[in-house]
Amino acid sequence: MIRDFEELELSVKSMGCRKIAIAAAADEDVLKVKDQVEKAGLAVCILVGDKAKILEIAKTLNIEINIDSIIDIPDTVEAAKKAVSLVRLGEADLIMKGHLQTGDFLRAVLDKEVGLRTNRLLSQVTVCQKPDGDGLMLITDCAMNIAPDINGKKMILENAVELALKLDIQKPKVALLCAVEMVNLDMPDTTDAAILSKMAERGQIKNAQVDGPLALDNAMSLISAAHKGIDSPVAGRADILVVPNINVGNALHKSLLFFAGKSIASVVMGAKVPIIMTSRADSPETKYLSVALSGYIAKNS
Ligand code: COD
């Protein structure tokens, strides 16, 4: 089992470099990450974007750039399409979102003819250290699917279970997060959670222990779970939190960064390759760890 980000990083480094196509790379933060991951030996980057701007920013930041690693496409939508095509052609192993609108990037990835879709739903997973420090935990979907229906939630859950298994978390414990732990017919997310739990019980969701609805306190804390009298193998021991919608997920992801000051990484699962889709709000460390995480998954696919 990968117990922490340090172990993850070491493991990726031991596997050798991966090639990342960065869509719309003309951006300070993006070029800093490129510099960091290349120096660390995690990856080499193909920079798709406005060549003049890339060189200008690199000069200001004193970052060395191999001119042959730049593909000059100033338009960000076109740059995203090109980065996607590099992956399809096998010229890059991974794709990373640079400085462009999330929707534009995702539309290039999701294109039916020339994108990176499979027959699965694409969904984002945030990875962080467990509060007790004992291993990694996953939170999904904090950035892609806006308001998934029950089938969408099932696929989001399954993508996260796939990632957990790659990280060697065997039979991960999945909490379906809601505001309360009781089924409340006026709160449809609680009924979705109850149905998904029953589906897991009947073998319709595999390789995981699933329970919900659970509130954050009783998903994470054995004391809270005991206090509420919840008898569940998942309560207080969750490896994966499945949030009901993007608003909850996004706030949880950002609260790890801005309130708790945690190290986190994220990845989009379900496509032909892992997708690195960090946002402006993410710290340079998050971007670096997200590259490490995606490299690790790609190596273990
Ligand atoms: N996985 C696989 N296919 C998908 C997915 C997905 N998650 N989402 C849409 N599709 C497919 C649909 O089946 C359809 O064939 C095609 O893509 C277009 O679907 P639409 O019309 O629903 O797609 P869009 O372009 O309106 O929206 C797709 C986005 C992913 C762009 C949209 O869901 C979105 O904007 N999500 C939020 C992203 C965001 O702003 N995140 C910010 C986090 S900081």
**What is the share, in percent, of the chain residues with pLDDT greater than 70?**
100
How many whole angstroms separate alpha carbon 259 and alpha carbon 67? 40
Q: What is the pTM of this model?
A: 0.96
Position of tokens 């945690």?
A: 262
Q: Is the CB of 106 under 6 A from ligand 1?
A: yes
Please say whether the beta carbons of 239 and 82 come within 8 A.
no
* Spatial CA neighbour of 212 closest among 228, 234, 229: 234
Instruction: Please report the pLDDT score of residue 40 as a whole number.
Output: 94
In the chain, which residue ranges form alpha helices assigned H by DSSP? Answer: 5-14, 28-40, 51-61, 76-88, 102-110, 150-166, 188-201, 216-220, 222-227, 246-258, 284-299
Q: Is the CB of 122 under 6 A from ligand 1?
A: yes
Instruction: Please report the pLDDT score of residue 138 as a whole number.
Output: 98
Best of 77, 100, 107, 110 for a ligand 1 pocket test (most atoms within 8 Å of beta carbon) = 110
Write out pLDDT tens, residues 62-79: 999 999 999 999 999 999
Q: How far, in Å, from the CA of 106 to the mean position of ligand 1?
A: 7
One-letter amino acid of 128: C
pLDDT under 70: residue ranges of the chain: none
Instruction: Please report the pLDDT score of residue 1 as a whole number.
Output: 82
Position of tokens 């400085």?
A: 99
Instruction: Please report the pLDDT score of residue 274 as a whole number.
Output: 96
CB-neighbour burial class of residue 244 (10 A; exposed 0-12, middle 13-18, buried 19+): buried
Q: Is the CB of 242 under 6 A from ligand 1?
A: no
Residues 6+ apart with CB under 8 A from 60: none
Instruction: Please report the pLDDT score of residue 272 as a whole number.
Output: 96
Please say whether the beta carbons of 97 and 109 come within 8 A.
no
Instruction: Please report the pLDDT score of residue 102 as a whole number.
Output: 93
